[in-house]
Each structure stands twice: as structure tokens, then as C-alpha cells.
Structure 1
């Protein structure tokens, strides 16, 4: 059984696309490069922060502002728009999003302006995640990663709602017994 929550503001904004095909492709390519680079910087900072020898690195205070500065520099290229949220327009799917690292990552991506598809096993934990944020760009989907049927249904649902996924964080834990 799959449960989905998509804010109406988000679903209506997904249907608007630029008219000229060539301009659209150039913008998509530029945005992809910017966001892949930005996420790479953020994730590299997170992993470095987790290393024992780099415990004093503040990824919230150091790495994320650095990624934002980089994104703003690249966004200054012709044909790109300026925004206060560096990941606006980016779709991220985070599995295992209701606790631990997945939950922290979900909140960080939302704060940066990304649309986050939070996939989790527990409907009550997904609802709690919704209740914890004021973001209008959080979408929750319930799926149990120990059940291939719910995984396939969730994947189909995600792809139907979001044909382009920029970030995938496979964070769900699964075990036998």
C-alpha cells in the first residue's frame, strides 16, 4: 500500500516548461552541472565531517555556504536566474528518510530549496516528518524496502510525478529477520 502527499503548489509548477526546445536543453544541461557540482561539494563535506580526523569541520556552517557561493557563481552565467535557495527546482529522492542520516539529509535538502521525495516504511513517521517542516516541497511516499512490490509501486509513482530526478540518496536499511 502506497501513500503519497504532493502539495498542490508543487504539482501545478511541474507542468510549466520553457517553450523553445534548444533553450530548454541548454538550461537543463547548465542546471544539472550546477546542481551535481553543488551536491558533490555538500556530500563531500558531509563525508569529510564524518571522518574522525575532521570532527571539528562544521558542514552546516562551512560546507553548505561554500556550496551556495559556488552555485551562485555558476548561476551568474547567461540564461540562468538568481535565487535565494540554491537547490530550487532540484528533485531529490531520499530513502530511509524518517530517521537518522536520511532524516537529517531530508531537512538539509529542504532548507536548501530542493523538492524532496521522502520514502519511508512507517506512515506515522512520514506524517511526523511532514509535521516537522514548513516546506511546501516535501513529498512523502510510503514503501517497505523488504517488499519488492511496494518498491516497484513507489518507483512508478515517483517517476510519474517527477520525470527528472537530480539526486538519489539510497539510505534505507533492510535486513533479513
Structure 2
């Protein structure tokens, strides 16, 4: 038996990680969401990191931590702050991506690659979208400057109630 070189061990580790990710994606459950199609985005390229967005899912509202998006890879952390099960769908020019369903108090992450255009972000659980649990985001333009100042415009369209 020969001892594998560092390069062989690294390639084996990358292959094992890819297989693990593939198996995890194949084994996910949609918890009765109607069997809609889900397009899995490619993983972020080596050396790049996804931008972080928090999505608070309450009864029946979605609040995103940012309103400005540029094309690229984002990880949405969906935090269920409500009293019902919720999930997150991001649907637009880059395809449709769905998180797993989370119970009250739980969180899940959804990594998506956004292209320029308009996306609908909503909860796919039974009728939640129709109750106002939806919002729209536009991807494009230059990155937004970082600011902690409160917005005077709290009436964003489609932000639920």
C-alpha cells in the first residue's frame, strides 16, 4: 500500500465534499409544497464568498436586511420569527430556488446566484404568499453604499402587513 501524496489527498477531499453536497441536495424534502421545481445554483467559485442577507419570516411578512442587490451569489438566512412553519423561495431570471421548511424559532440558509432582473421572494407554504408574505427585489446597478440610517420610506411595495 502506498501513501497518497498531498495533491491526491486534496483531490479526494474535494471529490468527497462534492459528493456530500450532491447527496444532501438529492435528499431534501419539500414538506408537501406541491412538488415545484427547484433549480440548484452552482456553488460559489473558489476564492469568492456569498453576500449575506437575513430574511425574517413572520406571520405573514418577509423582511429582508437589504433592499439593494447586484448580480452575484447571495446566502439568504431565513429566520422564522412567526408562529407557523415557513420557507423561502427566490424566483426570477436566475431560476427558482427554495429553502427547506422551518418551524417557529428555526433558521435555514439558501444560497442563490442572482442575475440582473426582477425577482419575487415569497413563502410557498399553503396560502402564505396570498396573505402578503411576498416581496420583489430588483438586481442590477452598482453596489449600494453601506449605511445604518433608517429609511423614511417604510412603504415598500409587496412587503406584506
TM-score interval, normalised by the smaller of the two chains: under 0.3
TM, length-normalised to structure 2: 0.27
Q: Considering only CA atoms, is the larger Rg found in Structure 1 or Structure 2?
A: 2
More strand per residue: 1 or 2?
2
More helix per residue: 1 or 2?
1
